[in-house]
Chains A and B, each alone.
Chain A
Amino acid sequence: MTILIGLLNGMISAATPLLLSSLGGALTYYAGIFNIAMEGMMLSGAFFAVLGSYTFGSWQAGLICAILGALMIALIFILFSVVLKVDEFVTGVGLNMFSLGLTTYLLRQIFKVKGAFTDPAIVPVPNIPIPFLSGVPFLGRIVSGQNLIVWLAIAATIVCHYVVFKTRFGLRLRAAGYNRDCLDTSGVSADRIRVWSLIWCAVLCGVAGAYLSLGYVKLFSENMSAGRGWISLAAVILVSGNPVGIALVSLLFGLADGLGLFLQRSIPSQFTAMLPYLATIIALFIYSARRRKATGN
């Protein structure tokens, strides 16, 4: 029982950052942007979360700084890909490397440490106990005491689904991806819609980064996003952006991650750490096979 609870909690904490950044990626996916900068946005968010929380002594400030840090990456993306029409892939790769370099440099300059920075002055994002549920066996130990950002991620899933499929913005967002000329001639600037999708993507990726450094643990380490942005890209493509699908895929990847931690007792950790990436490859393979079947070649 304890093992199962541990596994489920591991799954949830691994799935949360993936879910948030994948939702951000989904918004840009619908807008027709090949956005691979989630990795850089998340990493930047994770660093500035720690910086904000440490400097101002509050997790709220950390969360806001995380979002601003990710927005900085998004604004550069907007400048290059939307305004200057540079190739999106090249821009994304460049920004991911920039983000890694920037956060590593600032870590060493500001905190004078190499590798990782942790300090009692960093205020983490709180966990939310649910009083009347905490006493319930099993369920209480999963639902109660989860991090605030876990709940934010769940709310974001519902809001994203609503916005994309039910609202005016959603109709225009998807039109920008399907046929941008049609949207332009309908009197709505497709570029404007793209800019908004990138801004909301950055907000979600910033929160994802804050979860990594202020929720899951209480520290920042170099390259702490560790490829999660890439996995979320795979998740987005796998379900063609559908927010509910993204939630399910994120949980699946989270399970692989949790399973990896659990299996470390018997298998060398280098192998178990591969599990999420292996799951990504298998998922993409299934996606490709399914699509081939659908298109008949």
Chain B
Amino acid sequence: MDSLIEIEHLIKIFPPNVVALDDVSVDFRKGEIHAIVGENGAGKSTLMKVLYGMHSADSGELRYHGKTVRFAAPGDAIQAGIGMVHQEILLVNEYTVWENVVLGQEPAGFFGRIDHGAARRIVTEKIHEFGFNLDADARVSELSVAARQKVEILKLLYRDVSFLILDEPTAVLTPQEIPQLFDELRRLRDNGHTIAFISHHLDEVLELSDRITVLRKGRKIATIPTAETTKSALAELMVGREVVFKPIKDNVPAGDIVFDLNGVNLKASNGKDLLRDVSIQVRASEIVGIAGVEGNGQLELVSVLTGLQRPDSGSLKIHGQELMDSSILDRRRRMSFVSQDRSRMGGCLTASIMENMLMTHHRLRSTFTAGGGILIDDQKAAAFAEDACRRFDVTYATIQAPFRSLSGGNQQKVILGRELTLDTPFVLLDQPTRGLDVGSIEYVHHQIMELSRAHRAILIFSADLEELFRITDRILVLHRGKIVADLETERTNIGEVGSWMLEGAKSDA
């Protein structure tokens, strides 16, 4: 079969030192559905963005129709016939379907007047040609997410794109909408279009694709025909072979239940289930990990726990006290929280290190304020911040320097210092080591162990399975908004957790 696109030895480095793609070579054949699978951060989206001209490669070659090409911008790629449907849908909600499709390449006549008749006819023809169930005159704001996705695809087809990239198209769909999308994609393939399909749901990939490329940590592991592989073989390729590493968890006996989350349900406005009957208990000294492929409800669960989002039902108790109706400040009296986003949720980049260290403390502890809570006692605050920085090993110039002057690892240490010095029975950690170097990760893990020794209950969300195996007592797996497995860390292995994560079920293999 002819190769439509050949990618040779592609290398992409995000400064300063993140190797997103490490010598990746893939070919896409004309008229195939080619799935790209891999864990978060494996480089799937980066690979596609290089192909689409959104990122430039640092080295390597891209051949299209046998000719070496380099796309400087998405516009160039679209002209050449390569288009991408992004995860977030970009349409003008106020416009009709046909207006959105033709925007930018409108058929126009005298004095720039849009030829409505021709535009509607062309769009309607495309809708029929590809069997999309759409009304060209419908307003986009009234369409479902699935229909909007079709409009995005239609927009590319209108521009005569022959190579379509879909970045996790099923992530925004309800289970009922997925088969229809797949039928449409198959029809496109049978019409001679080539489709690159990013996903981490193995069932979908096996059902839809002709060939599968597996990426892991920026490297291509394999490209295999779908017919020649199985779910468990893919899972092993994706997650990697069992790595031997030492758990550092020491056996502090667990105490009473501290954190008790019960029956949390949350639906999106389009009716999609985001969280389904989630119940979690964490005992004193216990470290419980939440594993799961990103987008399976982690973000929503953290939002519900911290009080940013109200669930449709469910209760949240810490030491027996109901908190689901409490304000965020009330929750913070009992809950420390390290967010995954250091610069936006975790801290304020332009505020000083001292101010970042003091946040929340200044509301909960009257020792830092004077004048009945109106003024901040600068001297006490600075002394506290300096002490915390010493204890948490922060390298900084002056305590008044802006937070942004710190490296990522030191910023994280400031946030950990602030949160862990709050005297709370429960600690919530959301990706506490994301983006940190090995030394800082080590440090954070030891701090978490200290918490356990101090009889605090710890819940940690992590995309890094090795991390969870290193420090947790139990691992819960979140899949499509539901806790599908509750595993003792000592009695399970990465393969088992991986198959729960990917399939929501235990692998037969």
- Chain A residues with CB under 8 Å of chain B are 162-163, 166-169, 171-172, 174-175, 178-179, 181-183, 185-188
Q: Kindly list 8 other residue pairs between chains A and B, CB separation below 8 angstroms, not including A171-B102, A175-B92.
A: A178-B94, A179-B92, A179-B93, A182-B90, A182-B91, A183-B103, A186-B103, A186-B104
Let me know if B78 is at the binding interface, CB within 8 A: yes
| Across-interface contacts of A188 in B (CB, < 8 A) | 103-104
B94-113: CB near A (< 8 Å → 1, else 0) gives 11000110111110100111
| Residues A167 and B103 in contact in the complex (CB < 8 Å), given A175-B92, A182-B90 | no
Find A171's partner among B78, B93, B99 (CB 8 Å cutoff). Answer: B99
Q: Which residue of B lies closest to A185 (CB)?
A: B90
Let me know if B252 is at the binding interface, CB within 8 A: no
Q: Give the distance in Å from the alpha carbon of A185 to the alpha carbon of B92 in the complex.
A: 12
Let me know if B240 is at the binding interface, CB within 8 A: no
How many B residues, CB 8 Å from partner? 22
Tell me whether B113 and A185 are in contact (CB under 8 A). no
B440-454: CB near A (< 8 Å → 1, else 0) gives 000000000000000
B114-125: CB near A (< 8 Å → 1, else 0) gives 100000000000
Q: Which of B403-431 contact A (CB under 8 A)?
A: none
| Residues A179 and B91 in contact in the complex (CB < 8 Å), given A168-B112, A185-B74, A187-B75 | yes
- Chain B residues with CB under 8 Å of chain A are 74-75, 78, 90-95, 99-100, 102-106, 108, 111-114, 155
Give, as a whole number of angstroms, the nearest-CB distance from A24 to chain B: 19
Q: Give the distance in Å from the alpha carbon of A188 to the alpha carbon of B104 in the complex.
A: 6
From B74, B93, B99, B112, residue with most partner A Cβ within 10 Å: B112
Q: Give the distance in Å from the alpha carbon of A267 to the alpha carbon of B100 in the complex.
A: 55
Find B106's partner among A168, A174, A179, A182 (CB 8 Å cutoff). Answer: A168
Tell me whether A181 and B106 are in contact (CB under 8 A). no
For the residues of A in contact with B, the DSSP-based class is: helix
| Residues A174 and B90 in contact in the complex (CB < 8 Å), given A167-B112, A183-B103, A187-B105 | no
Find A183's partner among B94, B104, B114 (CB 8 Å cutoff). Answer: B104
Give, as a whole number of angstroms, the nearest-CB distance from A238 to chain B: 19
Q: Give the distance in Å from the alpha carbon of A186 to the alpha carbon of B102 in the complex.
A: 9
| Across-interface contacts of B111 in A (CB, < 8 A) | 167
Tell me whether A179 and B90 are in contact (CB under 8 A). yes
Tell me whether B93 and A178 are in contact (CB under 8 A). yes
Q: Give the distance in Å from the alpha carbon of A2 to the alpha carbon of B233 in the complex.
A: 94
| Across-interface contacts of B108 in A (CB, < 8 A) | 167-168
Give, as a whole number of angstroms, the nearest-CB distance from B234 to chain A: 32
Q: Give the distance in Å from the alpha carbon of A167 to the alpha carbon of B106 in the complex.
A: 9
| Across-interface contacts of B95 in A (CB, < 8 A) | 171, 174-175, 178
Tell me whether A172 and B92 are in contact (CB under 8 A). no
Q: Give the distance in Å from the alpha carbon of A179 to the alpha carbon of B99 in the complex.
A: 13
| Across-interface contacts of A175 in B (CB, < 8 A) | 92, 95, 103
Pick 13 A–B contacts, CB within 8 A, sort by A: A168-B112, A171-B102, A171-B106, A174-B92, A174-B94, A175-B103, A178-B94, A178-B95, A179-B90, A182-B92, A182-B100, A185-B74, A188-B104
| Across-interface contacts of B112 in A (CB, < 8 A) | 163, 167-169
Find A167's partner among B93, B99, B100, B114 (CB 8 Å cutoff). Answer: B114
Q: Give the distance in Å from the alpha carbon of A59 to the alpha carbon of B112 in the complex.
A: 31
| Across-interface contacts of A168 in B (CB, < 8 A) | 106, 108, 112-114
Q: Give the distance in Å from the alpha carbon of A166 to the alpha carbon of B116 in the complex.
A: 9
| Residues A171 and B75 in contact in the complex (CB < 8 Å), given A178-B92, A179-B90 | no
| Across-interface contacts of A163 in B (CB, < 8 A) | 112
Leading 6 A-B pairs by shortest Cβ distance: A186-B104, A167-B112, A182-B90, A168-B108, A187-B104, A168-B112
Tell me whether A182 and B103 are in contact (CB under 8 A). yes
| Across-interface contacts of A174 in B (CB, < 8 A) | 92, 94-95
| Across-interface contacts of A183 in B (CB, < 8 A) | 92, 103-104
Tell me whether A166 and B90 are in contact (CB under 8 A). no
Q: Give the distance in Å from the alpha carbon of A166 to the alpha carbon of B110 in the complex.
A: 11
Find A166's partner among B75, B104, B114 (CB 8 Å cutoff). Answer: B114
Give, as a whole number of angstroms, the nearest-CB distance from B113 to chain A: 5
Q: Give the distance in Å from the alpha carbon of A166 to the alpha carbon of B114 in the complex.
A: 6
| Across-interface contacts of B75 in A (CB, < 8 A) | 187
Q: Give the distance in Å from the alpha carbon of A256 to the alpha carbon of B57 in the complex.
A: 64
